Amino acid sequence: MGTDSAGRPYREDWGWLGQAESPFRRRVRRVTLSEPTRDPLILVTSLTDADAYPAAELLALYRARWGLEVMFQRVVQTFDLRHVISGTPQATVFQAMLCLLLYNITMTVRDYVAEGVGQSSATVSLSLVFEDVVRDMTAWFRVIPTGTTLEILELTRECCPESFRTWLRERLGRVWKKSWTKSPTRRGPGKVVHRAYICGGHTSVDKILRGMHNELPLQGSESTKSMGQPPPCEAKNDG
């Protein structure tokens, strides 16, 4: 038994995952954190040594990963990753790395803009800032030749990171637009409306992205409980 950094109680126990005869059976440790207003948080790990890997530290690290989940969600929404440039592994890696680089640049612009007007960066819409950055950069490259752009970058190059931060702070701190203010979060009714069945009951992400999956439209907006069995669908032809 113990408490985490926020004073919430947790319980540790040890056991096995897998059947006794399974070659993949593993000894694991389970940490159950009690939450006052929600279901317990349960963390299962193969790091069974509680002295070398304290439960409170594991819980803190696990909670820190939520920031990564939020980051990936922002990248997908901001750069509209419903559309991929190619299906090859090389193109997928290239697009992912490019989007992560653009995300970091846009976050930097947003933070300096917010700092310039004394606002929290959380109140500034990342997607709206990115749209204006894209619009400005597109206008720049349509009007100014590439060679001239390279010359300007060479002439304005800063000597060190701190000097570059000062340069960004001076220029981005005075370009604030009220239109960049993030809209307040509005909670929907919480009811999921099912508009169609996927033919066959399953498909692949790739087919959904390319619009190759088959759907059977539903009439009305009944919930899952009232829809009953899905309509009949012919078996897929894999040939």
CA distance 151 to 148: 5
Query: Does the predicted TM-score (pTM) go above 0.75?
Result: no
Res 145: pLDDT: 93
Query: Helices (DSSP H) in 28-186: which residue ranges?
Result: 55-64, 66-78, 89-116, 126-143, 146-155, 161-172
Dihedral of the alpha carbons of 10, 14, 66, 104, in degrees to the nearest 10: 130
Res 238: pLDDT: 43
Higher pLDDT, 127 or 13: 13
Highest mean pLDDT among 49-53, 213-217, 230-234: 49-53
User: Which of 214, 185, 188 is CA-nearest to residue 202?
Assistant: 214
Lowest mean pLDDT among 53-62, 99-108, 129-138, 205-214: 205-214
Q: Amino acid identity of 196?
A: A
Check: CB of residue 102 under 8 Å from CB of residue 159.
Answer: no
Lowest mean pLDDT among 36-45, 100-109, 187-196: 187-196
Is the pLDDT at 112 greater than 90? The verdict is: yes
Res 208: pLDDT: 65
Is the pLDDT at 156 greater than 80? The verdict is: yes
Give pLDDT tens digits for 191-200: 555 556 566 5
Strand partners, 32: 11, 42
Phi, psi for 83 (deg, rounded to 5): -110, 125
Res 223: pLDDT: 44
